[in-house]
Amino acid sequence: MLLTSYVDAPRGGYIPPPSFPWLISALTIVGTALQEEQTMIKKHGEKYKKYMEKTPFMLPLPKKLSTIITAPAKIVTSKNWPENNKQTFAVLLTYFCIFVLSSLPLQYFIKV
């Protein structure tokens, strides 16, 4: 999300910033993983929840960094994990807005 300025295309067209397709791809992957977590909880119940407590979600990050990264999701859902598709969508929309809004000030500094 560091490159938010657009690149002029030939004949007045528009090319989306390179970071936008990356953001959509990343959110699609995370959304799919969150839905798989829901499926596993339904299938295995408490046994899988105990497993989730011991293992990182996608990347092995230090506990403090993981807590910071997951804070918006916990605020939106009031839980550690989204429990249904509606909550998953709300979490992904929240992160989308955070990334887009945090990258907007950079468009004034980065010009292609």
pLDDT per position as a tens digit, 12-43: 666 666 677 888 999 999 999 999 999 999 99
**Spatial distance between the Cα atoms of 96 and 102, rounded to a whole number of angstroms:** 10
pLDDT at 22: 83
Q: What is the pLDDT of residue 2?
A: 45
Mean pLDDT of the chain: 83
What mean pLDDT is predicted for residues 74-82? Answer: 89
Domain residue spans of the chain:
7-108
Query: How high is the pLDDT of residue 56?
Result: 87
Assign 50 a pLDDT band (cuts: 50, 70, 90): very high
What is the b/e burial string over 68-103, where b = at least 16 CB atoms within 10 angstroms of the residue's CB?
eeeeebeebbeeebbeeeebbeebbeebeeebeeeb
Would you say 88 and 39 are in contact if contact means Cβ atoms under 8 Å apart? no
63 falls in which pLDDT band (50, 70, 90)?
confident
Higher per-residue pLDDT: 10 or 38: 38
Least confident of 2-11, 28-37, 39-48: 2-11
Contact 13, 6 (CB under 8 A): no
Q: How many CB atoms lie within 10 A of CB 1?
A: 18
